[in-house]
Amino acid sequence: MSSEDDVKFLAKLVHRGHLSREEAEPVIGRLKGGAPLDEALLEAEGWDEERVAKMRRTDAGERPEIPGHEILGPLGVGGTAEVFRARERKSGKTLALKILTQAYARNPVEVKAFIEEARLLERLDHPGLVKGFGPAKSDGTYLSRMELVDGQTLQEYLEGGHLFDEEAAFRITLEVAEVLRYMASEGLVHRDVKPGNIMLSQSGRVKLIDLGFCAQQDACDADGTARGTVQYLSPEQAEGGAQADIRSDIYALGVTLYQLTIGSLPFEGDCDEDTLRMHVMERLSSPELKSHAHTPLLHYFVEKMMSKDPELRYQSWDELVTQVGEQVEGYASLDFKSAASQRGQGRGVSGKGRGRGAGRSSSPGRGRRS
């Protein structure tokens, strides 16, 4: 292997978190002195030959080796983890493996959060939640075994240029609300509701994924900052230090309903700080939402769910589920469906997908407060 190839592989080891930049410095010094990379890793980092060989064999972990599993290919990359399609050799079952990246596996706080999420997915049981089979650790690699969901996230649909007609958007909103109602009955708030965390299976079933920011109701983070994705934070979260509250999840679901039907976000600033300010200060003003392409009821639901004042939003999931459920059931009889199709043909989308796995997170902007 050439020295140039060694430098590229060392850069990959750093990029994927196997070495910090500081740890790479003495290795670089040995490379400049003419030593091969493998020898430099053995001498400067104290790695053993098996570890070096594994890094080479797995291309720095891009093709992970997990005992008892055959890795079939990548499914997606999130903020802290990668997800792979895998086959369990003993049972032959295909599932999704969510693997904590090495950069975060070196942080005990991140490891703790990853394990807690895996255990939470294992404990919870709802058809609208991706099912977890528990955490595991293999040779320093932390992983979570999960149900494989063949489909796409709503964000992937949006990025592909698809918009959802009102009936489809309300049905999705209803199914997500029912999952969040179940979580609330378990004393939990999701805190990261968004299209990137909602999947449509090939059968059209909604699956809520990624409980990385999930918290007990009324919990407040020790550092006093909100958790979630900037574009979906409620005004009280955007101001910082808000307790975990179902009404913030309702706000985020309202943003999602808006995005599914309009195709853009209601508030998009030049930077995260600007977007947060808009959530707090600016009223929702959308000519598209008020246009003839949409019914007044869509405008009503979005306005109520996204009210700046949490007291004016729905105060319980029961209330929201009841009203949205009535809307879904009454669509045909009230003739909203035919009217909407005449005004905006080609906006509907089916639940068919390309085949993705649970745990994929692809959100607009990765700006998260943490």
Distances in Å between the Cα of 186 and the Cα atoms of 144, 177, 179, 189, 332 are 21, 14, 11, 9, 34
Exposure string of 253-284, with b = 16+ CB inside 10 Å and e = fewer, is bbbbbbbbbbeebbbebeebeebbebbbeeeb
Phi first, then psi, for residue 359 (nearest 5°) are: 95, -5
Residue 161's CB is within 10 A of a number of other CB atoms, namely: 7
Q: Is 173 within 8 Å of 155 (Cβ atoms)?
A: no
Exposure string of 298-309, with b = 16+ CB inside 10 Å and e = fewer, is bbebbbebbbbe
The H or E element spanning position 163 is none
- What's the Rg (C-alpha) of the chain? 23
Of 165, 192, 210, 272, catalytic: 192
Q: Is 167 within 8 Å of 328 (Cβ atoms)?
A: yes
**Distance from C-alpha of 224 to C-alpha of 201, rounded to nearest angstrom:** 36
| Residues β-bridged to residue 82 | 77, 99
**Distance from C-alpha of 66 to C-alpha of 136, rounded to nearest angstrom:** 10
Catalytic-residue membership of 192 = yes
Token digits of residue 80: 């802290």
The tokens 């528990």 sit on which residue? 134
**Distance from C-alpha of 129 to C-alpha of 143, rounded to nearest angstrom:** 18
Q: Is 320 within 8 Å of 177 (Cβ atoms)?
A: yes
**Distance from C-alpha of 287 to C-alpha of 77, rounded to nearest angstrom:** 35
Q: Is 29 within 8 Å of 10 (Cβ atoms)?
A: no
**Distance from C-alpha of 38 to C-alpha of 20, rounded to nearest angstrom:** 17
Distances in Å between the Cα of 214 and the Cα atoms of 48, 93, 108, 230, 251 are 39, 28, 18, 16, 16
Known catalytic residues are 192
